[in-house]
């Protein structure tokens, strides 16, 4: 079989894309669905915690996701526990956190709340919020 330029270029592009996906930093932390038991265990261990009050339909939540993915992939956040609370289906939990709307981010250091933001999509201020959990 003769290797044509088109086939060779296609193979090179496929290889480059495969390598890029291997070299891209994986997000060390991914949000997990909220459970009271897991949250209390994380608080008891003194872990840094982020609670995301999230809705899949929310454009602000969608804008926050890549920012959170980027920031939580940093080594300093390797121990950060991220809990996702669904705004629509977990109303008692949303109320317990005192959240009035989706796109609310709340950080804890152990059992103590350290800060919160609502509707923020600026990387710098979200980074400052996450730093309060450390």
Question: What's the total number of domains in the chain?
Answer: 1
Concatenated DSSP letters for 91-120? HHHHHHTT--SSSEEEEEETTEEEEEEES-
Query: At which residue do the structure tokens 């059992």 appear?
Result: 111
What pLDDT shows up at residue 22?
Answer: 40
CATH of the domain at 79: 3.40.30.10
Residues 6+ apart with CB under 8 A from 43: 49, 108, 110, 111
Q: Quick check: 19 pLDDT over 80? A: no
Residue 14 domain flag: no
What pLDDT shows up at residue 32?
Answer: 82
Strand boundaries in the chain, DSSP class E: 32-33, 48-54, 81-86, 104-109, 112-118
Residue 20 domain flag: no
Residue 22 domain flag: no
Q: Quick check: 99 pLDDT over 50? A: yes
Residue 1 domain flag: no
Q: Quick check: 83 pLDDT over 50? A: yes
With pLDDT > 70 as the criterion, what percentage of the chain qualifies?
78
Per-residue pLDDT of 54-81, as tens digits, reads 999 999 999 999 999 999 999 999 999 9
Q: Note the pTM of the prediction, 2 decimals.
A: 0.77
Which range of residues forms the domain containing residue 86? 27-131
């Amino acid at each position: 079989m003769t290797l044509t330029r088109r086939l060779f270029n296609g193979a090179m592009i496929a290889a480059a894309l495969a390598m890029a996906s291997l070299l891209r930093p994986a997000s060390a932390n991914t949000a997990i669905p909220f459970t009271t038991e897991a949250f209390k265990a994380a608080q008891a261990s003194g872990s840094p915690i982020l609670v995301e009050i999230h809705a899949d339909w929310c454009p602000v939540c969608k804008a926050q996701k890549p920012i959170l993915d980027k920031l939580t992939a940093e080594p300093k956040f390797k121990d950060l526990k991220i809990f996702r609370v669904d705004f629509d289906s977990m109303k008692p939990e949303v109320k317990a956190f005192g959240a009035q709307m989706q796109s609310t981010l709340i950080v804890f250091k152990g059992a103590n709340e350290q800060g919160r933001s609502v509707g923020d999509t600026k990387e710098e201020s979200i980074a400052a919020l996450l730093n309060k959990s450390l």
